[in-house]
């Protein structure tokens, strides 16, 4: 029995010594493995979209709408009351000054008079014709309305809070559903001296250039009155700008100085100007043709590595 106990004890001691030696070997190998892993840490790379800052023009404007009306419009009246016996014109006809418009017979029972010929007081286009053969009219009833020449205007009503932005001869851009894609030009020609107390608006009249006689009185128009115009400024999409700690900034694209094979984001503080339709003026901080990040920039820090997935076309001249 004693021999068996001694033999078991010897086996146990051999196993224990082997386990200790094995643990020592693993402990020696482990520091070398960790050292190798620390030498090559993973560097995050952020996917972004970019575009170029553009030098150009930016227009601030006031958007309004109104009806096109004739710039000169005159009603035609008869000098005598009576019955209309003939109408010489139709709506849309062009007339010269003194052309006949209608004949009015002023005769009464027992009295016969020569027909009175009502003539056009100005040259222009017949836009309304209330006169009908057989009607009895007085001197206060208009027989026809004549729009003089090709001059057209748009009546607009400006809210009181925008009055300070309106001035004579301000340029205007005019668009109509009837002519999609076309932009007509005009300017502010008349500003009412009073504000309507009920609507708190001021009437403004804008003349309209009408090449090709495309525009007609009565059409509905959308008008941009240009209130501020800046040329040769740097502009970017508004979404590129970020705000943090009271600073306005964008991220520009640069080559990584540690490894030229990579590109990095650089945080650049800017001074923003006016914002129009998603286009931002940059007064300071950027130069034309600098590449800026417009998507994927919210998680970036100065010096973050980036991968440019797409370079979006720069803002067009129309912006």
Mean pLDDT of 297-319: 85
pLDDT in tens, 94-128: 899 999 999 999 998 888 898 999 999 988 888 88
Residue 22, pLDDT score: 41
- Residue 159 makes CB contacts below 8 A (sequence gap 6+) with 200, 201
Architecture of the domain made up of 61-69+150-230: Beta Barrel (2.40)
Residue 40, pLDDT score: 56
Q: Is residue 8 scored above 70 in pLDDT?
A: no
Residue 94, pLDDT score: 86
Report in angstroms the alpha-carbon separations of 102 from 76, 139, 141.
10, 13, 13
3-state secondary structure of 46: strand
pLDDT in tens, 208-234: 988 887 888 889 999 999 999 999 999
Residue 39, pLDDT score: 57
For the chain, which residues make up each domain, given as ranges?
Answer: 1-40, 45-57+231-311, 61-69+150-230, 76-148
Residue 110, pLDDT score: 84
pLDDT band, residue 34 (cuts 50/70/90)? low
Mean pLDDT of 121-143: 90
Residues in a beta bridge with 99:
none
pLDDT band, residue 195 (cuts 50/70/90)? very high
User: Nearest Cα to 290, choosing from 268, 310, 306, 305?
Assistant: 268
For 24, the token pair is 């020592």
Give dist(CA 182, CA 173) in Å, integer: 10
Q: Is residue 305 scored above 90 in pLDDT?
A: yes
Q: Is residue 319 scored above 70 in pLDDT?
A: no
Residue 126, pLDDT score: 86
- Quickly tell me which residue has 């003539």 as its tokens: 119
**Mean per-residue pLDDT of the chain:** 85
Residue 227, pLDDT score: 94
Query: Is residue 199 classed exposed, middle or buried when 0-12, 13-18 and 19+ CB atoms within 10 A define those classes?
Result: exposed
pLDDT in tens, 251-276: 999 999 988 889 999 999 999 999 99
Residue 149, pLDDT score: 61
- Quickly tell me which residue has 């503080």 as its tokens: 269
- Quickly tell me which residue has 């224990």 as its tokens: 16
Percent of the chain with pLDDT over 90: 66
Residue 1, pLDDT score: 43
Give pTM, 2 decimals: 0.62
For 224, the token pair is 């941009």
CATH code for residues 45-57+231-311: 2.40.420.20
- Best CATH choice for the domain 76-148 from the list 3.50.50.60, 3.30.420.40, 3.90.1150.10, 2.40.50.100: 2.40.50.100
Residue 216, pLDDT score: 84
């Amino acid at each position: 029995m004693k021999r068996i106990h001694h033999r078991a004890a010897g086996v146990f001691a051999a196993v224990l010594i082997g386990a200790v030696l094995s643990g020592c070997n693993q402990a020696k190998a482990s520091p070398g493995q960790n050292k190798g892993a620390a030498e090559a840490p993973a560097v995050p790379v952020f996917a972004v979209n970019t575009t170029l800052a553009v030098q150009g023009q930016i227009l601030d404007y006031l958007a309004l709408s109104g009806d096109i009306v004739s710039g000169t419009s005159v009603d035609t009246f008869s000098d005598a009351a009576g019955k209309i016996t003939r109408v010489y014109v139709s709506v849309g006809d062009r007339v010269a000054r003194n052309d006949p418009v209608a004949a009015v017979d002023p005769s009464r029972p027992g009295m016969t008079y020569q027909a009175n010929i009502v003539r056009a007081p100005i040259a222009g286009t017949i836009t309304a014709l209330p006169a009908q053969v057989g009607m009895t009219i007085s001197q206060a009833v208009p027989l026809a309305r004549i729009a003089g020449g090709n001059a057209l205007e748009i009546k607009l009503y400006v809210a009181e809070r925008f009055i300070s932005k309106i001035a004579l001869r301000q340029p205007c851009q005019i668009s109509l559903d009837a002519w999609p894609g076309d932009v007509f030009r005009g300017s502010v020609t008349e500003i009412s001296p009073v504000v309507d107390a009920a609507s708190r608006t001021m009437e403004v009249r804008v003349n309209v250039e009408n090449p090709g006689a495309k525009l007609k009185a009565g059409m509905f128009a959308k008008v941009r009155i240009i209130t501020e115009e800046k040329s040769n400024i740097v502009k970017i999409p508004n979404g590129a700008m970020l705000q943090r700690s009271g600073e306005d900034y964008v991220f520009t694209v640069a080559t990584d100085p540690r490894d030229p094979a990579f590109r990095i984001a650089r945080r650049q503080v800017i001074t923003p100007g006016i914002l129009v339709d998603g286009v931002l003026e940059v007064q300071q901080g950027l130069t034309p043709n600098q590449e800026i990040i417009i998507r994927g920039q919210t998680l970036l820090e100065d010096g973050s590595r980036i991968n440019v997935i797409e370079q979006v076309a720069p803002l067009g001249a129309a912006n």
